[in-house]
Structure 1
């Protein structure tokens, strides 16, 4: 897990070699508080330990799963907080990935049914309010209103109180839009894909986009799983002094 065989503190070069980062990257990530503060030996040199190597390995996995910005934020917060808070933050990354995958799967399923109920149900059953739909998609109601303004998703019914109601077809379209937007596609491209859904090529194209998103989510999930042991060590080390003595 890092550290020298005789238990002596690690130098910056040792940490870099053990973690697979460059010396400059180690220094940069320490400055960004991805690493816990390294104590100083009597000669003033940094004294790194195994926990610093584990933190860097954990950062690599987190960056692959949640992006480097979120990984830096999470680890910096971990060292400043408690082990319980750090464990909850890591768990939240797993939950977020699971939710992204579930939504992409629902969007893919919606491709087959988005046109099945063109009127959304004449009796008004099986509809969702804008708040309910926003919650199901993990977006803000203002986002749904923006999509409506852009012609991507429209409520299938507006009550006398001007409350929006979304039927099955609109909900399906919203799921597709949410997944395409999360995959990085801009509004014009999403609009083009939706407009082509009546044709076989349009459905195939949207399916390819969603399949690609699912593949990327799977890769991010694997990166997080690979970082599991290092993340557990980091959580265990939160609040504990890294110890040691050594040189830069």
Structure 2
């Protein structure tokens, strides 16, 4: 990191510019999330504009990957940069930061792909639900728990857990107590698998399944539409997190290129 002189800022100035409170600024400095401040002749902390950028980088990273990941990532980067400076060694902070930020981008891209695949699956189910052939299928076809698990790419224990939670409840063959899933339960299981595979928790999935079973109106179509809206919000959230990560990367690069203690 090259050394440059910067206008000194008070803690209250940094708080105002970054959107954090004075105490939060001090806490994040103590945790190593931002580089340590210099001390002015009067003993007070002396920050620079790059501390503000470091806090903005933290905000973006926290939005994209969560505060725990953001705190650990920044603390490790700044600690490594400080150690390299003490030893008068070349710093690898920028390269490491690029790699770490890139890994978060990869995770977000994976989440987006999962949500898109789930949405495609829902639309396929929706097409089946609205087709005339669907009524004929409802007259007969069933699947065993093993067949359904294979079709969905999940374990049979997962289907049993969904059953315990009131999701995708099968019919039972009374003589053997074997689980058999009718068309409605199969459809529910496919929707549950799509939402769970995209990272949604049980409460949101229960709401969708409840709509599927609704007596008011076309519960099937309404339930699938509700699931699509959930996935739409998920995709919007992933897009917002990706934008926050792009901004965080730019702020972090600016901080790592300059030593704020100069």
> TM-score band, normalised by the shorter chain?
0.5 to 0.7
Show the counterpart of 2:210. Answer: 192
Distance 1:144 1:99, change over 3 A: farther
Alpha-carbon displacement from aligned partner over 1:71-113 (angstroms, at most 9, x marks no partner): 2232223223452433322112211211111111111111133
Question: For the residues of structure 1 that align with 2:68 and 2:12, how far apart are their CA atoms?
Answer: 25
Question: For the residues of structure 2 that align with 1:177 and 1:195, how far apart are their CA atoms?
Answer: 19
Question: For the residues of structure 2 that align with 1:142 and 1:34, how far apart are their CA atoms?
Answer: 42
Show the counterpart of 1:177. Answer: 196
Question: For the residues of structure 1 that align with 2:211 and 2:252, how far apart are their CA atoms?
Answer: 40
Question: For the residues of structure 1 that align with 2:65 and 2:200, how far apart are their CA atoms?
Answer: 17
- Per-residue deviation at 1:173? 4.5
Alpha-carbon displacement from aligned partner over 1:126-156 (angstroms, at most 9, x marks no partner): x5796xx69xxxxxx98777446546479xx
Are the aligned partners of 1:180 and 1:190 in contact in 2 as well (CA < 8 Å)?
A: no
Task: State the structure with bigger RCO (CA 8 A, min sep 6), 1 or 2.
Answer: 1
Question: For the residues of structure 2 that align with 1:215 and 1:33, how far apart are their CA atoms?
Answer: 31
Question: For the residues of structure 2 that align with 1:230 and 1:142, how far apart are their CA atoms?
Answer: 46
Alignment RMSD, CA only? Answer: 3.9
Alpha-carbon displacement from aligned partner over 1:7-31 (angstroms, at most 9, x marks no partner): 3433223322332333232112212
Return the match for 1:91 from 102, 110, 124. Answer: 102
Return the match for 2:246 from 186, 209, 225. Answer: 225
- Per-residue deviation at 1:35? 0.9
Return the match for 2:227 from 182, 206, 209. Answer: 206
Distance 1:180 1:51, change over 3 A: closer
Gaps in structure 2 of 5+ consecutive residues:
81-91, 129-136, 170-185
Show the counterpart of 1:40. Answer: 39
Higher mean displacement: 37-46 or 204-213 = 37-46
Alpha-carbon displacement from aligned partner over 1:132-187 (angstroms, at most 9, x marks no partner): x69xxxxxx98777446546479xxxxxxxxxxxxx976765222233625x7456
Question: For the residues of structure 2 that align with 1:45 and 1:30, how far apart are their CA atoms?
Answer: 14
Distance 1:173 1:18, change over 3 A: closer
Higher mean displacement: 210-219 or 74-83 = 74-83
Distance 1:143 1:243, change over 3 A: farther
Distance 1:105 1:69, change over 3 A: same
Question: For the residues of structure 1 that align with 2:261 and 2:209, how far apart are their CA atoms?
Answer: 57
Distance 1:41 1:218, change over 3 A: same
- Mark the structure with the bigger radius of gyration: 2
Q: Does 1:110 align with 2:121?
A: yes
Distance 1:242 1:146, change over 3 A: farther
Show the counterpart of 1:101. Answer: 112
Question: For the residues of structure 2 that align with 1:100 and 1:144, how far apart are their CA atoms?
Answer: 23
Task: Give the helix-richer structure, 1 or 2.
Answer: 2
Show the counterpart of 1:52. Answer: 51
Are the aligned partners of 2:61 and 2:70 in contact in 1 as well (CA < 8 Å)?
A: yes
Higher mean displacement: 71-80 or 57-66 = 71-80
Question: For the residues of structure 2 that align with 1:129 and 1:201, how far apart are their CA atoms?
Answer: 22
Are the aligned partners of 1:181 and 1:190 in contact in 2 as well (CA < 8 Å)?
A: no
